[in-house]
Amino acid sequence: MDGKRDTISRINEKFNKMSKSHKKLATFVIDHYEQAAFMTAAKLGKAVGISEATVVRFAYALEYEGYPEFQEALAEWVKKKLNTVQSIGAKYGASTQAELLTSVLSSDIEKIQDTMEHIDAQSFEAAVDIILAAKHVYIIGLRSCKPLAQFLHFYLNMVRGDVYLLDSTSTSETFEQMLRINEKDAVIGISFPRYSMRTLKAMEMANDKNAKVITLTDTIHSPMCLYSACNLLARSDMVSIVDSLVAPLSLINALVVTLCLRRPDEVKRSLESLERAWDNYQVYLKDEINFIDEDMLNTPLQAQMGQRRKRS
């Protein structure tokens, strides 16, 4: 393995082939890297509930010469992460606020452009078909990806029923929510670096249950792609101390719009039902409701889908 690959990248690349004990270690290291970098092999093993010898073998499995080298490499990675703010300050410290605004927006535009150029149209179409055909759809996105999962859940619920947001800080609770998942269902997992091991475990469980798995992530080399039926890739790089999620959100927008145009009647019924509820329970005043504009759903794509349904 390339010695320049950092510890977290090595873990992500090898995660799928790890033993259960090594997967427990990998999950702990990624979720608690600040602590793990300064723990002895014995303390790390105790924290995870495995032997010190297993921790040492874990380091060898990542192609380090021993635990000390693994610990040193992890500590170096943590140091670089902690220095992010300082490096950003050095890069943009002399910039005016207006220049910062332009720089960040330009960077986001570039990420969307890159996503447009490299998106796999067949995977996108497959994702749409899977979502529409599934009996139940489960969505999971944690940490910084949680708003993306919530956004997709909100609008997907307008298109079809039986959409569930897996929202828990506990892996065991996530599994409880997925207890009855089967081959008729679909799971959409959203994660970008640093990848969420809890999201990955949920996708692994879904795959084991023969459910269709869709992943929204940044690269084909992401561990999120290990269990997916189709991969939706959107670029997300560190432009400052936060991750840019503009391109992933744009991809979700495209997915929602396409689903709406594939199921225009269901969307109309959902919106009409909501408006009646708002009116009956005086949730909003009349002038605050955005009434349905049917022309928005009367598009060439919608007409094409209608013709297909008639032929079938």
Please say whether the dihedral angle defined by the alpha carbons of residues 175, 181, 183 and 188, taken in this order, is positive or negative: negative
For the chain, how many structural domains are there in total?
Answer: 3
pLDDT of residue 291: 47
pLDDT of residue 151: 92
- Do both 149 and 241 map to the same domain? yes
pLDDT of residue 95: 64
CATH assignment of the domain containing 52? 1.10.10.10
Which of 262, 277, 299 lies at the terminal end of a domain, its last residue? 262
Output phi, psi for 84, to 5 deg. Answer: -60, -45
- Do both 165 and 58 map to the same domain? no
Contact in structure between 196 and 91 (CB atoms under 8 Å): no
CATH assignment of the domain containing 197? 3.40.50.10490
- Do both 183 and 252 map to the same domain? yes
Is position 97 within any domain?
no
Is position 98 within any domain?
no
- Do both 150 and 161 map to the same domain? yes
pLDDT of residue 309: 58
Is position 73 within any domain?
yes
Mean pLDDT per block of 10 residues along the chain (312 residues) reads 67 82 86 85 91 93 92 85 57 66 80 86 92 93 88 88 80 79 93 81 88 89 82 74 80 90 78 69 53 56 60 58
pLDDT of residue 130: 93
Is position 92 within any domain?
no
pLDDT of residue 284: 54
Return the DSSP state at 82: H
Is position 2 within any domain?
no
Distances in Å between the Cα of 158 and the Cα atoms of 83, 212, 266 are 43, 21, 8
CA distance 86 to 77: 15
Which of 262, 282, 301 lies at the terminal end of a domain, its last residue? 262
Q: Is 162 left (phi over 0), alpha (psi -120 to 50) or beta?
A: left
* 182: nearest Cα among 135, 235, 118, 112: 135
Output phi, psi for 32, to 5 deg. Answer: -135, 45
Is position 123 within any domain?
yes
The domain containing residue 191 runs over which residues?
Answer: 119-262
Interior CA angle at 258 toward 126 and 165, to 5°? Answer: 75
Cα radius of gyration (the chain): 23
CA distance 13 to 232: 19
Contact in structure between 134 and 212 (CB atoms under 8 Å): yes
- Do both 253 and 298 map to the same domain? no
- Do both 173 and 123 map to the same domain? yes
- Do both 168 and 200 map to the same domain? yes
- Do both 168 and 278 map to the same domain? no
The answer for residues whose C-beta is within 8 angstroms of residue 45's C-beta and 6 or more apart is: 51, 52, 54, 55
Which token pair is 172? 């065991």
Number of H helices, E strands in the chain: 15, 5
CA distance 127 to 34: 36
- Do both 233 and 273 map to the same domain? no
- Do both 131 and 240 map to the same domain? yes
Which token pair is 29? 């290291």
- Do both 223 and 168 map to the same domain? yes
- Do both 269 and 242 map to the same domain? no
**Beta strands, E only, the chain:** 137-141, 163-165, 186-190, 212-217, 230-233
Is position 255 within any domain?
yes
Is position 192 within any domain?
yes
pLDDT of residue 1: 41
